[in-house]
């Protein structure tokens, strides 16, 4: 991860490719930024236009080109192609314009990009491991060009954002997540490996699409699926023993099963469960500074009881327990509505473990509006991914129940949000504390500008990854995510709160990720989970491992 260390630079100086091979190496290519000396000695003379441009000039040109694109998807394709040509310039541009480009490389545009992935496919990136590779997964992993992967984001494409089963088209998610690891936390792109596990798809539209790039077969399930995942995890530890694995956008059942199966056996986590939970908890902690009611006095009502919702509930329970609230009392403050209605014992029926942990004593009702009336929550949290659900009537009722109701419409992409920021502020007379999963523009209401917070996992997972890798943690624990949540909440200033923000500005993301990395690494060292000895100056040690997008001088000056 040290950018300036020869032992960790992607190529030894004597192994540096030359000529066209250098220009085809995104991690090393500087395009028109190569010096005269480099052009002569690296066989580049004539392969580039004669004028030399600084990185700043290249970035200005790229920004102009980016802004000339007419649609978000066109901008996504432009950035993807830049990443495939010159990664250093790509990350310079992204880091310098993070608030403008974050919605392009990730939520919400990445959802559209995944839907169109077959038609916009230009250049392979990452590893595609299919069920047909069963029995030789380690061999496939060894085909990856960089032999020291440290952070792997993997999906099987079954539950991409709120869009459902996209199969192999889900590769856009790991690629986007890893771009954020580098931009937001400074993890060197050399160590990043996106993987799509293609086990088929149950999406009939894709199965009949002649352009679909994945296996055109029904999704493999059951024992064959479990054996394939087990082989992958074992092969990963063999080929990339220092790697952290992030599970991303697996279906609910598999997401919980895989996390419980491997959490204590490998360095891994599930961002949809743990990352979402941590960022939502941080938002709730910040919101209490606006509502004046402490965390232990909050009553949460969730719309959706999948991996995101119950993950938030578990972390909320752990946070209350850290404050001395008994576990049973903490759980009584979490209520859930799923597709069948309110989770109460009166409802009956068999429930999966993640839901059964939150079954309450109460009257069964079918609708969310009825649940609001019965539970009388201080906060409603939408994580179902089915679109508008927080109606004006529900929002007005929340405003009647609470001086400052907490409204979290966290489903992605924007089309799946439970309500818009404008709808929330209008229905609550501008009194709500609002956060969303996708970005919304500031809202003018009765002469006041409200800036909606975005409960984006990017506030959490890059810093967690950096802290785990810097300490070489053997596992990633829930305690690390709880520490990350509290650290994130502490970054919210009084000025942020004055504008209604419960998350800090994204342009501070590198500083935020550094603070979180320190808290995560501290947890690893204190609990004996680090494979590295603890340095005397932890902050300096982690900063030394951060990648900065600047060009290297490949040859000594003559």
Q: In whole angstroms, how far apart are CA 166 and each of 105, 211, 456?
A: 18, 13, 22
DSSP 273: I
Could you tell me which residues come within 8 angstroms of residue 249 by beta carbon, excluding any fewer than 6 positions away? 155, 156, 157, 158, 159, 160, 161, 170, 173, 272
Query: 92 vs 86, 185, 526, 547, 551, CA distance in Å?
Result: 10, 13, 35, 11, 10
Query: What are the residue numbers of the active site?
Result: 106, 177
- Helix (H) or strand (E) holding 398, with range, is helix 392-401
Cβ(518)–Cβ(510) below 8 Å? no
Residue 513 contacts residue 466 (beta carbons within 8 Å) = yes
What lies within 8 Å, CB to CB, of 337 at 6+ separation is: 301, 302, 303, 304, 305, 343, 367, 368, 371
Q: How far is CA 306 from CA 49, 257, 515, in A?
A: 54, 13, 30
Under DSSP, is residue 149 helix (H, G, I), strand (E, B) or coil? coil
Whole-angstrom Cα Rg for the chain: 24
Taking CA atoms, 481 is separated from 37, 500, 554, in Å, by 48, 24, 39
Q: CB neighbours of 485 closer than 8 A, spacing ≥ 6?
A: 277, 278, 279, 281, 282, 285, 315, 319, 460
3-class SS of residue 226: helix
Reduced to 3 states, what is the DSSP secondary structure of residue 447? coil
What is the C-alpha to C-alpha distance for residues 93 and 88, in angstroms, rounded to an integer?
9
- Burial pattern 497-509, b for ≥16 Cβ within 10 A else e, equals eeebbbbbbbeeb
Q: Is 203 exposed, middle or buried (0-12, 13-18, 19+ CB in 10 A)?
A: buried
């Amino acid at each position: 991860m040290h950018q300036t260390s020869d032992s960790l630079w992607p190529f030894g100086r004597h192994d540096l490719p030359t000529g066209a091979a250098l220009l085809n190496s995104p991690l090393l290519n500087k395009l028109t930024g190569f010096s005269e000396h480099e052009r002569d000695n690296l066989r580049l003379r004539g392969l580039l236009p004669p004028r030399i441009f600084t990185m700043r000039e290249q970035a200005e040109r790229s920004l102009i080109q980016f802004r000339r694109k007419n649609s978000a998807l066109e901008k996504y394709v432009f950035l993807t192609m830049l990443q495939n040509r010159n990664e250093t310039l790509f990350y310079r541009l992204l880091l310098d314009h993070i608030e403008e480009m974050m919605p392009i490389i990730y939520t919400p545009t990445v959802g559209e990009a995944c839907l169109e992935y077959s038609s916009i496919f230009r250049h392979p990136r990452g590893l595609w491991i299919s069920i047909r590779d069963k029995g030789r997964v380690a061999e496939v992993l060894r085909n990856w060009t960089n032999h020291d992967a440290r952070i792997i984001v993997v999906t099987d494409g079954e539950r991409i954002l709120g869009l459902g089963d996209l199969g192999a088209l889900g590769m856009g998610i790991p690629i986007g997540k890893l771009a954020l690891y580098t931009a937001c936390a400074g993890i060197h792109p050399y160590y990043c490996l996106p993987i799509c596990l293609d086990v088929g798809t149950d999406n009939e539209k894709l199965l009949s699409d002649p352009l679909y790039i994945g296996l055109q077969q029904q999704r493999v399930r059951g024992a064959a699926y479990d054996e394939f995942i087990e082989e992958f995890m074992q092969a990963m530890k063999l080929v990339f023993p220092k790697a952290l694995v992030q599970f991303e956008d697996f279906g609910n059942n598999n997401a919980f099963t895989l996390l419980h199966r491997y959490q204590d056996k490998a360095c891994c986590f599930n961002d949809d469960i743990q990352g979402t939970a941590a960022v939502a908890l941080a938002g709730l902690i910040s919101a209490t500074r606006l509502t004046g009611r402490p965390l232990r006095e909050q009553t949460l009502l969730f719309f959706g009881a999948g991996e995101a919702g119950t993950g938030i509930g578990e972390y909320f329970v752990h946070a209350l327990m850290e404050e001395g609230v008994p576990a049973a009392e903490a759980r009584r403050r979490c209520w859930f509505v799923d597709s069948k209605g309110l989770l109460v014992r009166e409802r009956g029926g068999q429930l999966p473990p993640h839901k059964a942990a939150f079954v309450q004593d109460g009257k069964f009702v079918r609708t969310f509006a009825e649940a609001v009336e019965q539970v009388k929550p201080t906060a409603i949290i939408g994580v179902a991914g089915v679109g508008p659900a927080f109606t004006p009537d529900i929002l007005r009722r929340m405003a009647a129940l609470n001086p400052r109701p907490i409204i979290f419409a966290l489903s992605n992409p924007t089309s799946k949000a439970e309500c818009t920021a404008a709808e929330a502020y209008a229905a609550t007379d501008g009194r709500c504390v609002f956060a969303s999963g996708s970005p919304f523009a500031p809202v003018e209401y009765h002469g006041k500008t409200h800036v909606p917070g975005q409960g984006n996992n990017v506030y959490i997972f890059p810093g967690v990854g950096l802290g785990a890798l810097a300490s070489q943690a053997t596992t990633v624990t829930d305690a690390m995510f709880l520490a990350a949540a509290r650290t994130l909440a502490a970054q919210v200033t009084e000025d942020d709160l004055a504008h209604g923000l419960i998350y800090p500005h994204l342009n501070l993301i590198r500083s935020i990720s550094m603070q979180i990395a320190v808290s995560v690494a501290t947890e690893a060292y204190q609990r004996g989970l680090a494979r590295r000895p603890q340095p005397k100056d932890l902050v300096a040690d982690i900063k030394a491992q951060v990648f900065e997008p600047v060009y290297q001088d490949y040859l000594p000056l003559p």
